[in-house]
Amino acid sequence: MGNEINHHQGAPAYERDHGGGPERRNAYLPISEMGKLAEEGLFTAMFLGDIAGTAGSPAFDGGPPEPITAFAALARDTEYLGLIATASTSFYDPYNLARLLGSLDQLSDGRAGFNAVTSVSEEWALNYSKEGHPDRKTRYQIADEFLDVVTGLWENRSLRYDADGIRRFYADPINHQGKHFQVLGPLNVAPSPQGRPLIAQAGGSGPGIRVAAKHAEMVFTNANTPQQAREYRAQLDEALVEAGRPAGTVPAIPGLIPYLGRTTAEAEERQRALDDHVDYELYAPFALIQFGLEYTFDSIDDPFPLDQLPKPEDVQDTIKSTYGNYVGLYTWISDNPGVTVRDVTAHSLARGGAQHRKFVGSYDDFVADLATWHEEGTVGGFNLMFPTGVIGIRDFVEEVVPRLIDRGIYRGSPDSRPLRERFRD
Ligand SMILES: Cc1cc2nc3c(=O)[nH]c(=O)nc-3n(C[C@H](O)[C@H](O)[C@H](O)COP(=O)(O)O)c2cc1C
């Protein structure tokens, strides 16, 4: 389950008018409430994205909290829930991050995960004593070396019982002398019951997939159709084999944004009520800002000016944000002639989750949809991003979870294994 970075832009006003939202006295409380509901709903993990600078101002509640800090608190509020924190290999120092995530793994008894991203924002880079954000190829070279260092630090340590019966921590230096990092080691944090945190990766381009194939134990992806999921699976499997790992071993988990109700009409009505809280005139010029693209239009109800956008193949190396997301959006606009500027703004920005698949329909239809994907077997699950956060997850836990269990495609008790083991089958 994802966090409020991906909420519908109308969510806070919707909560105010309909009730049922979290207490918003501080930015942690909504995370805590979502996490506790996720545990009640027997979720594998909560997955917090991270914005390493401002995401435009003003942000709801001052923006989401930093994931590792929030998870340190959530670890005490939950017992089984996996805690996967996004952190950028472009901005952190590997020893620092290995310590922070190693500590989270300790205090959660082996429930921590690291979603390694390279980030996209030029402005964020300027907060980290950098001259700018490197190009994609360089970013992933840095990410690869970064992951070599953190795994080296995590794997060269152990807790052992000595002859006197006392457990002590032993660790070896790693003496890493690389192009981007020089790290002596050892790490000063003891391993958890799962040895080290799970490594996840999010980034869909060729270099991103190669880094995932070498290091990751799960990948967070984008798949709007079973065909896209199959194509991604084939790319990842090819890269896994090249990296000397068996095909099919690293689950790909796409984002999914559910708009649900007892009937399709009710789900559509909920989505409409959220949409009504968005000022589309204000948002429309920023619909493609995540890709660093601008366009002009006369009215938000005109057809979207696709001819003003570059063809994906022409910007594969330069596009801001994830390339796969841009392909998805471009294809969606060209496949749906007549979509308006308002539609694209809703799809790309206002309804949350960038380009992740949005399902609008009844609880029963949603369960049937998930069963079809389950049978197909190309994805290892979904990263659910609820448009209304707490309201959405509560509804899901009450209405969808029991239906999934009845259908035999969901566990009926908490998964208490260390997090890494949960992604192995
Ligand atoms: C599903 C998904 C989620 C991502 N989440 C984050 C995030 O929370 N924070 C971040 O800085 N970058 C995030 N990224 C960006 C990636 O780290 C990467 O920098 C970017 O996608 C460009 O590389 P790509 O073309 O390989 O996808 C995400 C990417 C994907 C595909």
The pLDDT value recorded for residue 58 is 60
**pLDDT tens digits, one per residue of 269-301:** 999 999 999 888 888 888 888 788 889 999 999
Q: Supply 233's token pair.
A: 């699976």
The pLDDT value recorded for residue 376 is 93
**pLDDT tens digits, one per residue of 303-334:** 999 999 999 999 887 887 778 788 888 988 99
Q: Is 3 in the pocket of ligand 1 (CB under 6 A)?
A: no
Q: How far apart are CA 75 and CA 105, in angstroms?
A: 9
Q: Is 119 in the pocket of ligand 1 (CB under 6 A)?
A: yes
Residue of 44, 29, 115 whose CA lies nearest to 77: 29
* 63-67, 241-245, 263-267: segment of lowest average pLDDT: 63-67
pLDDT at 6 over 90: no
Q: pTM for the complete prediction?
A: 0.94
**pLDDT tens digits, one per residue of 328-366:** 889 889 999 899 999 999 888 888 766 789 999 999 999
* 88-97, 128-137, 174-183, 252-261: segment of lowest average pLDDT: 128-137
The answer to whether 89 touches 147, Cβ cutoff 8 Å, is yes
Residue of 258, 261, 280 whose CA lies nearest to 270: 261
**C-alpha distances in Å from residue 361, one per residue of 75, 159, 266, 367, 368:** 33, 51, 8, 10, 11
Residue of higher predicted confidence among 18 and 78: 78
Tell me the pLDDT band of 103, cut-offs 50, 70 and 90.
Answer: very high
The pLDDT value recorded for residue 292 is 81
Tell me the pLDDT band of 212, cut-offs 50, 70 and 90.
Answer: very high
Residue 108 annotated as binding site = no
Measured by CA distance, the residue closest to atom 28 of ligand 1 is 202
Please compute the mean of the pLDDT values over residues 98-125 and round it to a whole number: 94
Residue of 369, 341, 345 whose CA lies nearest to 267: 369
Q: Is 208 in the pocket of ligand 1 (CB under 6 A)?
A: yes
Instruction: Report which DSSP code applies to 404.
Output: H
The pLDDT value recorded for residue 203 is 77
Please compute the mean of the pLDDT values over residues 172-183 and round it to a whole number: 98
Measured by CA distance, the residue closest to atom 22 of ligand 1 is 322
The pLDDT value recorded for residue 332 is 87
From the CA of 355, how far away is ligand 1's center (Å)? 12
Nearest-Å Rg of the Cα atoms of the chain is: 21
The pLDDT value recorded for residue 353 is 67
Please compute the mean of the pLDDT values over residues 193-220 and round it to a whole number: 94
For residue 290, give the H/E element and its range. none
Mutate to test the pocket of ligand 1, among 47, 117, 218, 356 (most ligand atoms within 8 A of CB): 117
The answer to whether 91 touches 52, Cβ cutoff 8 Å, is yes
The answer to whether 399 touches 363, Cβ cutoff 8 Å, is yes
Residue of higher predicted confidence among 35 and 278: 35
The answer to whether 3 touches 46, Cβ cutoff 8 Å, is yes
Rounded to the nearest 10°, the torsion over CA 211, 239, 192, 220 is 70
Q: Is 205 in the pocket of ligand 1 (CB under 6 A)?
A: yes
The pLDDT value recorded for residue 57 is 54
Instruction: Report which DSSP code applies to 423.
Output: T
- Domains recognised in the chain with CATH numbers: 2-262+358-422 (3.20.20.30)
